Amino acid sequence: MSASGIDSVDERLRLSRALLTATAGMMRSTDPAMMFRAICDALPAASPRIQLAWLVLGELDTPILHPEYAVGPAAVYAEAVQVPRSPQAAEHCPVRDAIRRWEAVSGNIPASGGAAGAAGLRSLLALPLGRAGNGLNGLIVLYADRPDYFEQVGMALFQAFVHLGNASLEQAALLNNLTHLATHDLLTGVLNRRGIQESMERELARSQRRQLPFSVLLFDIDRFKLVNDRLGHREGDIVLRCVADAAHAVLRNEDYLGRWGGEEFICLMPETDCETALTLAERIRRAVRETPIAVSSGELQVTVSVGVASYPGDGESLDKLIATADSALYQAKRSGRDRVVCASRVEQHVHSLGNMLDAALRERRIVAAYQPIVDLATGEVVAEETLARLITPDGDIIPAGDFIEAAQQLQLLHRIDHTILMQAFSHCVTGLKTGMNRLNHFVNISADLLRHRELVEEILAAACEHCRGCGDAIGDTKPMIIEITERELLADIDQARELLLPFTEFGLRLALDDFGSGYSSYQYLADLPVQFIKIDGSLVRRVSEPKVRAILEGIQGMAEQLGVITLAEFIESAETEARLREIGIHWGQGYYYGKPIIISSQGLLGSLPALAAPGI
pLDDT tens for 55-86 read: 898 777 788 888 999 999 999 998 888 888 77
Same domain, 338 and 399: no
Q: Is residue 3 part of a domain?
A: no
What's the pLDDT at 612? 34
pLDDT(616) > 50: no
What's the pLDDT at 154? 87
Q: Mean pLDDT across the stretch 341-354? A: 70
What's the pLDDT at 420? 94
Domain count, the chain: 3
Q: Is residue 135 part of a domain?
A: yes
User: Are the C-beta atoms of 196 and 251 separated by less than 8 Å?
Assistant: no
Q: Mean pLDDT across the stretch 476-499? A: 75
DSSP helix/strand/coil, 379: coil
DSSP string, 546-578: HHHHHHHHHHHHHHHHHT-EEEE----SHHHHH
Q: What are phi and psi of 54, to 5 degrees?
A: -135, 165
Q: Is residue 359 part of a domain?
A: no
User: Are the C-beta atoms of 150 and 190 separated by less than 8 Å?
Assistant: no
Whole-angstrom distance, CA of residue 278 vs CA of residue 318: 19
DSSP helix/strand/coil, 512: strand
Cβ count near 8 (within 10 Å): 15
Q: Mean pLDDT across the stretch 201-225? A: 93
Which CATH number characterizes residue 91's domain? 3.30.450.40
What's the pLDDT at 351? 66
- Residues β-bridged to residue 371: 385
Same domain, 311 and 436: no
What's the pLDDT at 534? 94
Same domain, 102 and 243: no
- Segment among 117-131, 196-210, 396-410 with least mean pLDDT: 396-410
User: Cis omega before residue 213 (within 30°)?
Assistant: no
pLDDT(308) > 90: yes
Most confident of 35-44, 129-138, 182-191, 236-245: 236-245
Same domain, 135 and 211: no
| pLDDT band with cut points at 50, 70 and 90 for residue 475 | low
Whole-angstrom distance, CA of residue 241 vs CA of residue 86: 43
> What are the strands of the beta sheet with 123-129, ordered from one edge?
69-71, 50-57, 138-144, 123-129, 105-108
pLDDT(353) > 80: no
Higher-pLDDT residue of 602, 50: 50
Last residue of a domain, one of 164, 183, 202: 183
Specify the length of the chain in residues. Answer: 616
Same domain, 251 and 154: no
- Segment among 50-54, 438-442, 470-474, 560-564 with least mean pLDDT: 470-474
What's the pLDDT at 380? 95
What's the pLDDT at 211? 93
What's the pLDDT at 603? 45
What's the pLDDT at 608? 40
Q: Is residue 311 part of a domain?
A: yes
Q: Is residue 390 part of a domain?
A: yes
Q: Mean pLDDT across the stretch 264-281? A: 93
Whole-angstrom distance, CA of residue 329 vs CA of residue 4: 74
Which CATH number characterizes residue 419's domain? 3.20.20.450
Same domain, 396 and 438: yes
Q: Mean pLDDT across the stretch 5-13? A: 78
Which CATH number characterizes residue 216's domain? 3.30.70.270
Same domain, 425 and 332: no
DSSP helix/strand/coil, 304: strand
Same domain, 199 and 125: no
pLDDT(487) > 90: no
pLDDT(600) > 80: no
Convert 60-85 to b/e letters by CB count within 10 Å (16 or more is b): beeeebebbbbbbebbebbeebebeb
| pLDDT band with cut points at 50, 70 and 90 for residue 91 | low
Q: Mean pLDDT across the stretch 293-303? A: 87
Higher-pLDDT residue of 352, 420: 420
| pLDDT band with cut points at 50, 70 and 90 for residue 356 | confident
Most confident of 234-248, 329-343, 420-434, 589-603: 234-248
Q: Mean pLDDT across the stretch 434-451? A: 84
Average pLDDT across the chain, whole number:
84
Q: Is residue 613 part of a domain?
A: no
| pLDDT band with cut points at 50, 70 and 90 for residue 580 | very high
- Segment among 80-89, 344-353, 415-424, 466-475 with least mean pLDDT: 466-475
Same domain, 159 and 214: no
What's the pLDDT at 614? 34
Q: Mean pLDDT across the stretch 473-488? A: 74
Residues in contact with 472: Cβ distance below 8 Å, sequence separation at least 6, in sequence order: none
Q: Is residue 1 part of a domain?
A: no
**Which domain, by its residues, includes 503?**
367-607
Most confident of 16-30, 36-50, 96-110, 194-208: 194-208
Whole-angstrom distance, CA of residue 318 vs CA of residue 202: 11
Same domain, 128 and 156: yes
Nearest to 304 by CA among 280, 281, 288, 293: 288
Q: Is residue 601 part of a domain?
A: yes
Same domain, 202 and 179: no
Same domain, 442 and 520: yes
Higher-pLDDT residue of 14, 250: 250
Q: Mean pLDDT across the stretch 242-248? A: 95
What's the pLDDT at 5? 59
Burial grade of 430 (CB within 10 A; 0-12, 13-18, 19 or more) = middle
Percent of the chain with pLDDT over 70: 86
Higher-pLDDT residue of 423, 85: 423
Last residue of a domain, one of 351, 386, 405: 351
What's the pLDDT at 613? 33
- Segment among 288-297, 439-448, 496-505, 539-548 with least mean pLDDT: 496-505
Whole-angstrom distance, CA of residue 200 vs CA of residue 215: 10
Last residue of a domain, one of 183, 203, 232: 183
Nearest to 203 by CA among 307, 312, 306, 344: 312
pLDDT tens figures, 175-208: 767 777 788 898 999 999 999 999 999 999 999 9
| pLDDT band with cut points at 50, 70 and 90 for residue 135 | low
